[in-house]
Amino acid sequence: MSAFINDFVVGIDVSSEFSVVAMLEPSGTPIRKPFRIDHTPAGFNKLLDILKKEEERLNRKPIYFVESTGIFHLPLFFFLKSNDLKGFVLNPLSVHSTKNFDLRKVKNDSKDAESIARLAKYQQVKCSLVPEPQILALRMMVREYYALSDMLTVMKNRLSTDLYLLFPGYAGVFANPFGKASLELLRICPSPQHVIDAEPDSLAVSIAASSRKGLAWAYKKVNLLLEISQLALSMPMSFSILSNKIRLHLDGIQNLQNSLDGLLLQLREMIAAPEFPQKERLYIDLLDRMPGCGFLTAVTIIAEMGDFSRFKSPKAFTAFFGIDPSVNQSGKFNGDRNRISKRGTKFGRRVLFTLALASIRTSRKGDPINAILRDYYLKKCETKKKKVALVAVMHKLLHYIFAVLRDEKPFVFRSPQDHQSWRHSQNSAAPDAA
């Protein structure tokens, strides 16, 4: 049974410029026809006046519910919250599940608002609170970082395509075609003809200064460049126009990289600010100390997670990130090829994937970053595909993260045997402590 069945419930269907509001009395009777409010100060105050009048009449404070719609529901949500009204956000998947309650195929804003109100009032649906403004701002900054990062990847792919046509063999000259030495060379010589016309000594000095690997290494690169430049002269002359595209791509890569560096600096300043929640700052610091987990990964997990106190178990924590297995069962049939649900935050899964890769790799000296997880991964690979084994590592990592945040203590390496012994000692000591 819903916790709000005896409450004055308000359902709000939000769009970009206006919202439609439906109100239900504690008995479930609609108070009036669903009505529209504009997303303006006058529209917000109109809704507030109506809610206050109904509150006095029913002697009940309204509880409002909105469907999560990206950012469009936030201004109205925070306006009502600032006026001492309690509200919750519903997952769109839950709201959309009500579309077939009526046999008639009718869908409009009024029906949607009423469906939101009835869903909250009568169904035991999971609701979520909007996180603190600082955490919400942190989440938006982190997502902007990944958007710019994806744009940078697209720009680099375009540059690779042009280099493949204009500079056949260029990808084999530098270990990283997008490193400082390579990008500096392309700024000086954006075409094979520029390389041939340039002074070899000046090119070597420029490459050595950018790479800090010495002139001997730089002269080897210059000789390789001269070889591929001679080969590239056999390409059609019309391809030389691609040098202008290369200059544009180089400027775009530099600008995007500067923007990413600036965003990282802003994230650090935001977290260090006095008004940032202390507990979340502690969580970020604890995760940042985990092997294989960097600052950006820690910030992303905390920003996407929101309020950690709402997760009562590792199972719920895993489900939030969409790493829990889906269930496919009907009658006597039980599906045995189930994928992960992917119902949670995609940005959280993105960083968990990179964290899993970082956890199972080895350092340049051959030392494993996380020996326990690496052994676990290799053992899984004996019977599972590599990606399936990697998802298992992601699942393990979420249990690690849950334990670190729950206990508010740094991560400690424990083998499975040591962990079982530790759990047994904790359970044995619990009655004595009581």
Rounded to a whole number, what is the largest CA-CA distance in the chain?
Answer: 87
pLDDT of residue 417: 67
Mean pLDDT lowest among 140-149, 236-245, 279-288, 378-387: 236-245
Give the whole-angstrom CA distance, residue 237 versus residue 241.
8
pLDDT of 269 higher than 60: yes
- Rounded to the nearest 10°, the torsion over CA 246, 251, 257, 260 is -130
pLDDT of 35 higher than 70: yes
CA distances from 163 to 177, 183, 302 (A): 10, 12, 40
Give the whole-angstrom CA distance, residue 269 versus residue 264.
9
Nearest to 410 by CA among 322, 321, 325, 291: 291
pLDDT of residue 227: 87
% of the chain residues with pLDDT over 70: 87
pLDDT of residue 432: 47
CATH entry 3.10.450.50 includes domain 8-130: no
Mean pLDDT of 264-269: 95
Mean pLDDT of 120-140: 81
Its pTM stands at 0.81
| Residue intervals in the chain for CATH 1.10.287 | 137-264
| Residue intervals in the chain for CATH 3.30.420.40 | 8-130
Question: Helices 295-305 and 346-360 sit at what angle, rounded to 10 degrees?
Answer: 150
Instruction: Report which of residues 336 and 75 the model is more confident about.
Output: 75
pLDDT of 416 higher than 90: no
pLDDT of residue 143: 93
Mean pLDDT lowest among 234-238, 246-250, 256-260, 395-399: 234-238
Confidence of residue 177 (pLDDT cuts 50, 70, 90): confident
Confidence of residue 236 (pLDDT cuts 50, 70, 90): low
pLDDT of 433 higher than 50: no
Fold held by 137-264: Helix Hairpins (1.10.287)
Structure tokens at 166: 């204009």
pLDDT of 212 higher than 70: yes
Confidence of residue 295 (pLDDT cuts 50, 70, 90): very high
Confidence of residue 190 (pLDDT cuts 50, 70, 90): confident
